[in-house]
Amino acid sequence: MANPTDSVELRGQAPRLTADVLDAISARRRIGRWELVLEILNGYVDERMQEAVAITRVARGNEVEGGK
């Protein structure tokens, strides 16, 4: 697993509306656009990790029930 203190460059094009909304939200919250983007991405990653844990638990339970 990656070290959470490591960082890599992440860039790309985004639809104008998406960037405009991010800019409006970040201005309202008085944070940078990138800080907001990282908050959103980190939340997404946390949710996917929780899903993976839940799936793994169910799969392991089914292995025991199935006699494997």
Domain spans, the chain:
36-68
Which stretches of the chain drop beneath a pLDDT of 50?
Answer: none
- To the question of pTM greater than 0.85 for the whole model, the response is no
pLDDT tens digits for range 48-64: 999 999 999 999 887 76
CA dist 16 and 51 (Å) reads 31
* Residue 10: predicted pLDDT: 92
* Residue 62: predicted pLDDT: 78
CB 26, CB 33: distance < 8 Å: yes
